Structure 1
Amino acid sequence: MKLSPSVSIEQSETGLEFINVASAKCDAKIFLQGGQITEFIPKNNKPLIWVSKNETFQEGVSIRGGIPICWPWFGNHQNPNWPAHGFARTSLWQADEVHENDEQITISLKLPMKQVNTTYWPHQSALKVEFILTDTLQVRLTTTNLSNAAFSYTQALHTYFPTSDIKNTTVDGLQGAQYIEFGEGPFTQSEHVSFERETDMVYTQAAVQQHIHTPDGIINVSRENSSSCVLWNPWIEKSKRLSNFADDEYLGMVCLEAANVLEDKVTLEPKQSHTLITTISWA
């Protein structure tokens, strides 16, 4: 992979490789493990994504924060021994291409399918993720069916956003959407969402843009090729059970995830592709 002036490949203290971006528009870090962006800071602005202060960046363990790639299933598989949220977020991705011009930097990674356990995923396919970096961040996850038979999958770009106070944070733009929470529903979202308890809402028929109102400013979050999204905060008791997560960190984060889940799952015919896109920025 040919690098550009603003892009270098570096190693964490634990030996995980990451792509480091230091450009006129933003600073960013993208780990090859999980194909996962863990830092995005627009120039002269605040960080736009969150990572736990307890994250240890260990090989083979999903990173708590940033934008984990949940693929080719979201949540727990019906086989309880299979990894939650699929295998892409703990697999080692390959740096593919870097393009830089005055306007943006585009970095693409691909998941080498030869390393995928065919017990989990017997289908012939290709998976790539692209990061388009300006003063906004766009992530594009593309699945291509290389086989002669259709297959279906679910997925999410599990974005962790920062807030200085979850109790003074609200999410706007989900009004009218249907949601299921803790296996109950569907319910209809009637107003903006505030946070006073554990929240795990899976929305369908959701508008393509939401706004997270935090004490530090408004974060715009939009999606393409997706009518479903997930809103999550673990709150007090769940936080104590999470790995790589401090007990009080629920106060400083919220996840709003672009998804293809429930009736919005993707079915790909032979030779077809699908690209799930999320775009985030400070308002």
Structure 2
Amino acid sequence: MEVIVVTIEKLSNGFEYILVQNSSAVAKIALQGAHLFHYCKTNEEPLLWLSDISYYEQGKAIRGGIPICWPWFGFHKDKTLPQHGFARTSIWKFVSSDEPDAKTSSVIFRLTHSDETLKMWNHKFDLELKITINDSLKLELKTTNLDEGEFTITQALHTYFAVSDISEVSINGLNKKPYLDALTLKQEIQDGDIFFNSEVDRVYQKVDGEVILRDKNREITIMNSCSSSVVVWNPWIEKTKRMSAMREDAYRNMLCIESSNAYDDAVVVKPNSSHTLEAVILSLHKSS
């Protein structure tokens, strides 16, 4: 019988994470932010890009993996509040794990309101993340409204994919989709596949099918549920130089394709109701 292991590990500075090992893959999820920062299928290269100079310290978001942007995506109108919300730097509770077979493991994390969160966002909530790890990767981010009135959220699973070289990749599945170009603040329509030769920061809307990242040696398919917006981001040369916890050439080997509810795709959650943002990610090596 193959061994399945789910353990709580600590770095030398006390930073805690969950280590998941089964016959399909290995994954690491930090308790801070319920942040999946490593996923690697057996005998394959890691799916996720992770900065080799990233912080692993309380209160500082990890650069890479899949940060959780919640309950707002991007900058808040109150500039004193953190970009992308507080979930990615909050300490979550590890609730449970399940191993239905040797190939599959799932883990559940939870974050709920506190005196600290109520100062930043005056709503009572329960936030649950379920991650299922096998030949594919599935994330389910469930927001439950415990307040007396409705509230609105924007959110993203801010996935950093590892790529061979940004000049050799393309994105299929967003042709003819409208998008906001965050660099020019203009609304545009995508024409064909997406290629990269400069900085890209776009929020695509009305997305209703698979998004495929084509790389030299593999294809990565992303399928989202309860979401019609997808963020595509690469900071390119000059912006990378100004980014924290990134080497100057990091832009060459990373690309963010973010499953989201952003801008026009914001979600209103009524009292005692829930909304679940779901992403399923599958990578397949190309035949040689």
Normalised TM-score (structure 1): 0.96
Distance 1:146 1:112 in 2: 10
2:179–2:204 CA contact under 8 A, matched in 1: yes
What are structure 2's unaligned runs of at least 5 residues?
Answer: none
User: In the alignment, which residue of structure 2 is the partner of 1:39?
Assistant: 38
CA shift in 2, pair 1:115/1:22, >3 Å: farther
> Which amino acid is 2:137 matched to?
L
Runs of 4 or more, structure 1, over 6 Å off, are none
Which deviates more, 246-255 or 198-207? 198-207
2:224–2:279 CA contact under 8 A, matched in 1: yes
Which deviates more, 225-234 or 176-185? 176-185
Question: How much does 1:41 deviate?
Answer: 0.6
User: In the alignment, which residue of structure 2 is the partner of 1:264?
Assistant: 265
User: In the alignment, which residue of structure 2 is the partner of 1:51?
Assistant: 50
Matches within 5 A, 1:1-283: 5-102=4-101, 103-114=103-114, 116-181=116-181, 182-283=183-284
Question: How much does 1:84 deviate?
Answer: 0.3
Secondary structure of 1:193's aligned partner: coil
Identity score, percent = 38
2:4–2:23 CA contact under 8 A, matched in 1: no
> Which amino acid is 1:120 matched to?
M
Secondary structure of 1:117's aligned partner: helix
2:111–2:126 CA contact under 8 A, matched in 1: yes
Normalised TM-score (structure 2): 0.94
1:227–1:264 CA contact under 8 A, matched in 2: yes
Q: Deviations over 1:254-276 (max 9, x none)?
A: 00000001111000111110000
> Which amino acid is 1:280 matched to?
I
Question: How much does 1:136 deviate?
Answer: 0.6
- Count of aligned pairs: 280
Distance 1:223 1:13 in 2: 36
Q: Deviations over 1:51-108 (max 9, x none)?
A: 0111131111000000000000000001111100000000001100101121421100
Distance 1:50 1:135 in 2: 18
Secondary structure of 1:161's aligned partner: strand
Distance 2:168 2:11 in 1: 34
> Which amino acid is 2:213 matched to?
I
> Which amino acid is 1:135 matched to?
D
Distance 2:204 2:41 in 1: 29
1:167–1:196 CA contact under 8 A, matched in 2: yes
1:94–1:112 CA contact under 8 A, matched in 2: no
Question: How much does 1:171 deviate?
Answer: 0.5
> Which amino acid is 1:11 matched to?
K
Distance 1:44 1:260 in 2: 34
Question: How much does 1:176 deviate?
Answer: 1.5
Distance 1:261 1:77 in 2: 13
1:177–1:203 CA contact under 8 A, matched in 2: yes
Distance 2:116 2:131 in 1: 23
> Which amino acid is 1:137 matched to?
L
> Which amino acid is 1:236 matched to?
I
Distance 1:225 1:242 in 2: 31
Secondary structure of 2:241's aligned partner: helix
Question: How much does 1:13 deviate?
Answer: 2.8
What are structure 1's unaligned runs of at least 5 residues?
Answer: none
Question: How much does 1:207 deviate?
Answer: 2.9
Distance 1:240 1:143 in 2: 35
Question: How much does 1:5 deviate?
Answer: 4.2
Distance 2:28 2:57 in 1: 16
Question: How much does 1:31 deviate?
Answer: 0.3
2:112–2:124 CA contact under 8 A, matched in 1: no
1:174–1:207 CA contact under 8 A, matched in 2: no
